[in-house]
Structure 1
Amino acid sequence: MAKTDFIELLRAKFVSHLETRSKFTEPQNLYEPISYILNLGGKRLRPVLTLLTTELFQGDSDQSMDAALAIEMFHNFSLVHDDIMDDAPLRRGKTTVHEKWDLNTGILSGDAMLILAYQLFENYPPELFKKLTSLFSKTSLQVCEGQQYDIDFETRDDVSLEEYLKMIEYKTAVLVAAAMQMGAMIAGASEQDTIAVYEFGRNLGIAFQLQDDYLDAFGDPKTFGKQIGGDIMENKKTYLYLKSMETGNQEQIESLLHLYSIKPKDSSSKIEAVKTIFEESGAVEATKDAIEMFTQAAFGHLEKLKLSDANKKILRQFGEGLMQRTV
């Protein structure tokens, strides 16, 4: 079976499991929003990685289905609360939970999702339960810390590249890493292998987010799925912005500071002006270099895994596919 067919099979298996396990009862106003957000679609990247890692370490992905669902449950819980904080009207092209119901329902349903995620780990034997929940607690807290860093950065003008990388590591990469480590744990992989697969996922997650920064400014509007220049319009201090501030000349820095202090009605001229500075300051090339560096670091950890060459190749192809995306 081809790698893509196998991954699609795991994705279909997971979606079927999610649909079965997301049928809740009363009170309707607590559980309906949970079913709604869980069934909005999305790539299901994290839970598929849990199932895939279990299979690659000679385990049975059926055994990691509840851990995969816990990861997806937590991810969607964080989206519900993020949307409240951002006052976002849409998620995956559909009305956000707090807009469709109300603010209190969004908060309470999100809280319930976090509890439901923990409950799913209760289906594992005591020793494994302890390992999984310990990793889950650490990761969940890091995601919250990453979100707080992101909020703090909005009002700070002295954010460093190191701080930004830590923020995206916590907000995005650690959940990808934990999803893979859980899969390996459930398959009974050695501690050395579970750590190496975590590092593979963490580095790949950072590269993925840096590429998202790049595509937001320079992606193809036909395939990206979001409005190009969204981060620029919102004055977000992405890797591109911070690198421009670090390597740009005085004129470029002053222009960038001015452009990021305004919100014009016609944003197209602002977006183009900022993109020009990103290119001329060397930030675009530096961002591409950083994406490549973290991708190669991920592949370095992949080589340490005690897996067959065929199974290593599946993970490598998965990583390469993720990094060659245009969406």
Structure 2
Amino acid sequence: MYTISDLQKIVEKELAKQDYIVEPANLYRPIDYVMGMGGKRIRPTLCLAGCYLFDDDIQNALNPGLSLEIFHNFTLLHDDIMDKADVRRNQPTVHKKWDENTAILSGDAMLIKAYQYATLTDARFLKKVLDLFSQTAIEVCEGQQYDMEFEHRDDVKVDDYLTMIRLKTAVLLAASLKTGAIVGGASDKNADLLYEFGENIGLAFQLQDDFLDVYGNIDTFGKAIGGDIVANKKTFLLLNALQLASGSLRDDLLHWINAETFNSDEKIEAVRNIYNTLEVDALAKDKMGFYFDKAINALNQVDGRETMKDELRKFAMQLIERSR
């Protein structure tokens, strides 16, 4: 019997076998660098889990799982260029370690590599897997486009934000589970229920990330608290605050949003106090709970291996109950 931890170890072992560097080496070294940065390998692990729900043999899920991990890391590489990020997982980003042109081209090669791994899927399932991969890839790009547009728009609503995080984050988790289900021989109904589980867990996870950026503990969250507030990032919390605030409270919020010079700690504390007054923290928790419940309800309807369903329930709990 496999656990989620067992599947993660299988993924790591398989990734360690891959040799990305061929000629011209300068195209492929950044790919090897990115893939060697580590991470939780959530997407390929979920792909294997989706397969194991329906089939004892998880070998069919390995190549499509690797394709999803390579694609995920490709999106991070290009996101770092767009965000002008200097560090990823405590290491220099590719465009800082090399240069921007190298990062763009190596990222392009990563996307093609991801498709090459996907095409190694068993022929019985290949069309379904490639169709899902392509649909997911274009949706992730749509989510990134919305994310970039939101930085300059003043009319973003909460529903717009939820659409963006669904596309940018949730659909790839959902597709990972469904891909595994497909190669595991699941029925369309079961594969779709797993997709629904992954999509809703992805939404809950991103909302939790927003929440922890404001209310988390720096030692357990893994990054500085309040970064979204400092950057005026249009999160679930800020958008709800803008919708609910009125009078002097709204004036105070707009003051901090529009301030060009400020003390970061003072701004974080002031905006957090506004959030508390408006109780948008409670709204965020309610929304997380809503998506989590939807996810578990979908998983409960899946006709698959009960031990792996239990593992996925625990995994879901761990994702959205990270320490504050």
Amino acid at match of 2:52: E
Taking CA–CA contacts closer than 8 Å with sequence separation of 6 or more, which of the two structures ends up with the larger relative contact order? 2
Amino acid at match of 2:45: V
In the alignment, does 2:323 pair up with 1:311? no
Report sequence identity in percent.
Answer: 45
**Structure 1 residue 68 displacement after superposition:** 0.8
**Structure 1 residue 198 displacement after superposition:** 0.2
**Distance in 2 (alpha carbons) for counterparts of 1:191 and 1:148:** 30
Tell whether the 8 Å contact from 1:233 to 1:263 is kept in structure 2 after alignment.
Answer: no
Indicate how the Cα distance of structure 1 residues 22 and 213 shifts in structure 2: closer, same or farther if over 3 A, else same. Answer: farther
Indicate how the Cα distance of structure 1 residues 257 and 23 shifts in structure 2: closer, same or farther if over 3 A, else same. Answer: same
Match of 1:146 among 143, 146, 149: 143
Indicate how the Cα distance of structure 1 residues 237 and 114 shifts in structure 2: closer, same or farther if over 3 A, else same. Answer: same
Gaps of 5+ in 2: none
Match of 1:110 in 2: 107
Match of 1:120 in 2: 117
**Distance in 1 (alpha carbons) for counterparts of 2:119 and 2:313:** 32
In the alignment, does 2:94 pair up with 1:101? no
Tell whether the 8 Å contact from 2:119 to 2:130 is kept in structure 1 after alignment.
Answer: no
Match of 1:320 in 2: 317
**Structure 1 residue 56 displacement after superposition:** 1.9
Tell whether the 8 Å contact from 1:121 to 1:133 is kept in structure 2 after alignment.
Answer: yes
Match of 1:249 in 2: 246
Match of 2:227 in 1: 230
Match of 1:29 in 2: 26
Indicate how the Cα distance of structure 1 residues 239 and 51 shifts in structure 2: closer, same or farther if over 3 A, else same. Answer: same
Tell whether the 8 Å contact from 1:176 to 1:201 is kept in structure 2 after alignment.
Answer: yes
Match of 2:157 in 1: 160
Match of 2:190 in 1: 193
Tell whether the 8 Å contact from 1:248 to 1:282 is kept in structure 2 after alignment.
Answer: no
Gaps of 5+ in 1: none
Match of 1:63 in 2: 60
Match of 1:283 in 2: 280
Mapping of residues 257-268 of structure 1, within 5 Å: 257-264=254-261, 266-268=263-265
Indicate how the Cα distance of structure 1 residues 12 and 290 shifts in structure 2: closer, same or farther if over 3 A, else same. Answer: same
**Structure 1 residue 265 displacement after superposition:** 5.2
Q: Which has the larger displacement, 240-249 or 122-131?
A: 122-131
**Distance in 1 (alpha carbons) for counterparts of 2:100 and 2:305:** 50
**Distance in 1 (alpha carbons) for counterparts of 2:298 and 2:250:** 37
Match of 1:77 in 2: 74
**Distance in 1 (alpha carbons) for counterparts of 2:187 and 2:67:** 22
**Distance in 2 (alpha carbons) for counterparts of 1:153 and 1:98:** 24
**Distance in 2 (alpha carbons) for counterparts of 1:33 and 1:214:** 33
Match of 2:168 among 153, 164, 171: 171
Aligned-residue Cα RMSD (Å) equals 1.4
Q: How many residues align?
A: 324
**Distance in 2 (alpha carbons) for counterparts of 1:308 and 1:50:** 15
Q: Which has the larger displacement, 34-43 or 13-22?
A: 13-22
Tell whether the 8 Å contact from 2:48 to 2:58 is kept in structure 1 after alignment.
Answer: yes
Indicate how the Cα distance of structure 1 residues 237 and 279 shifts in structure 2: closer, same or farther if over 3 A, else same. Answer: same
TM-score, structure 1 as length reference: 0.96
**Structure 1 residue 23 displacement after superposition:** 3.4
**Distance in 1 (alpha carbons) for counterparts of 2:87 and 2:258:** 25
Mapping of residues 4-19 of structure 1, within 5 Å: 6-19=3-16
Match of 1:134 in 2: 131
Secondary structure of the 1:227 match is: coil
Tell whether the 8 Å contact from 1:64 to 1:183 is kept in structure 2 after alignment.
Answer: yes
**Distance in 2 (alpha carbons) for counterparts of 1:281 and 1:40:** 40
